[in-house]
Structure 1
């Protein structure tokens, strides 16, 4: 089993005891991303849409560091502190993903790190 740690400065650095992503054979596991700006490690300013966009940009940067893009995403997990924001997730997600869409879960949570309103992680399959 070939295992590789994926890291990039184009996404927020890990704020705990984890890697941005781990590649095992042809599968890449992206750690959860919150809407931190990589340059400052501060939450992006703006509404929930701005937060969702930043999370997708962070995930995209880590995927690119693994030699992949969103067409390789097979599973996406979305964590929201307010499930009423899920329609905004769908709207923004349509800018980043095209059919066939990945499998997805949406989970309502009480709180997220740094008081973020959204966090996402993903699994990618690379040929």
Structure 2
């Protein structure tokens, strides 16, 4: 049990846990604690924008927002960033492209697919569920993110798939 004036922060570093203790009453704030405090400010949101993924609609939404130690990615459709067009192919090709776009956005935010904790998948046809899962499952390690998958009537640009995610920094 830690004294009340200490906080324990567990963080992963190359697969191992390390414990860092910080004094609440200390006048000197360590860089790690300062970083933690900046990530937990609820009034701070930072937009993420990269040209390696399709651009958001101007004035409508951001590709992603960093807030409170998390990266919240908007839905990614199977659009090629260079052409601005939905790629040709089936649901499996579209799944690869959506995750490629999310990966580029997460990288621009300073995180990665390995740190994704929640995924929302939107399919225009639930008959594509198994084929989408076949590709989707190849992107996650042993610890899969939480996920919701729903069928919706229509998706933007009449595509068959949209994927959004939340990751930790």
TM range (shorter): over 0.9
- Encode CA deviations 1:58-81: one digit per residue, 9 max, x unaligned: 001001001111111000000000
CA distance in 2: counterparts of 1:94 and 1:108, whole angstroms:
18
Unaligned segments of structure 2, at least 5 residues: 1-40
1:15 maps to which of 57, 62, 80: 57
Mark the structure with the bigger radius of gyration. 2
- Encode CA deviations 1:49-105: one digit per residue, 9 max, x unaligned: 111110010001001001111111000000000111111221111221112000000
Structure 1 SS opposite 2:154: coil
TM-score for the superposition, normalised by structure 2: 0.72
1:110 maps to which of 120, 134, 153: 153
Higher relative contact order (CA 8 A, sep 6+): 1
Paired position in structure 1 for 2:119:
76
Q: Is 1:3 the counterpart of 2:45 in the alignment?
A: yes
Query: Offset of 1:25 from its aligned partner?
Result: 2.7
Paired position in structure 2 for 1:62:
105
TM-score for the superposition, normalised by structure 1: 0.95
Unaligned segments of structure 1, at least 5 residues: none
CA distance in 2: counterparts of 1:92 and 1:112, whole angstroms:
20
Query: RMSD of the alignment, in Å?
Result: 1.0
Runs of 4+ in 1 over 6 A off after TM superposition: none
CA distance in 1: counterparts of 2:133 and 2:160, whole angstroms:
15
